[in-house]
Amino acid sequence: MKNRELIVFRLGHRLPRDERITTHVCLVARAFGASSIYYSGQKDHSLEKSVRGVVDNWGGKFSIEHEKSPLKLLRGLKKDGFSIVHLTVYGMPIEEKRGILARLEKAVLIVGGEKVPPEIYELANYNIAVGSQPHSEVAALAIALDRIMEGKELEREFDSNFKGKIHLEPSEKEKKIKRKEG
């Protein structure tokens, strides 16, 4: 599997409105291969604690940080060789950009919350639409990460790389959870 550096940026987190959806963005980012997430808007200690708890229990290398200056951070990452991928319903269809996405080695995937400033569209290397209808940023992120990872994030080998305290065993009829002692 390619060694990629994938970062997710959640724009405009609002309390209490976005607590659950931003948590889901974080969960998808971690489970589908991103190494970290930044979020802007209101700082949310509870969100950060929750995400760190998931990482502690389920494993993997994943971090979360609040960012006060999204454009400054994004410009810096772009200067450092990251492709900026803005997931927006107004972008180019994802299937038309599938080949480009699969070749990305270093990328920041941006998902919005509140109204996205025009500077994000201009800064982005790619404005990508998962569909042409209103939909969730969680769905857009999952589909985009799946295209970038070419489905590898769904394989058992990928799943075993997390090495957490909690591990699920596949089962057709019951919940099988293994917990590491210690």
Average pLDDT of every residue of the chain? 93
Distance, in Å, from the CA atom of 32 to the CA atom of 142, rounded to the nearest integer, reads 7
- Tell me the CA distances in angstroms from 25 to 8, 40, 130, one per residue in order: 9, 13, 15
Mean pLDDT confidence for 13-17:
93
Q: What's the pLDDT at 8?
A: 98
88 pLDDT exceeds 70?
A: yes
61-86 pLDDT, tens per residue? 999 999 999 999 999 999 999 999 99
Mean pLDDT confidence for 142-147:
96
Q: What's the pLDDT at 12?
A: 93
4 pLDDT exceeds 70?
A: yes
1 pLDDT exceeds 60?
A: no
Mean pLDDT confidence for 8-15:
95
90 pLDDT exceeds 70?
A: yes
pTM of the model: 0.93
Neighbours of 37 (CB within 10 A): 27
- Under DSSP, is residue 121 helix (H, G, I), strand (E, B) or coil? helix
Provide the token pair at 33.
């291969």
Q: What's the pLDDT at 77?
A: 98
Q: What's the pLDDT at 135?
A: 85
Distance, in Å, from the CA atom of 182 to the CA atom of 164, rounded to the nearest integer, reads 12
Q: Exposed/middle/buried for 23, CB within 10 Å: 0-12, 13-18, 19+?
A: middle
Domains of the chain: 5-179 (3.40.1280.10)
98 pLDDT exceeds 60?
A: yes
Neighbours of 93 (CB within 10 A): 12
Q: What's the pLDDT at 155?
A: 87
For 9-18, 47-56, 80-89, 131-140, which range has the lowest pLDDT when averaged over its residues? 131-140
Q: What's the pLDDT at 134?
A: 82
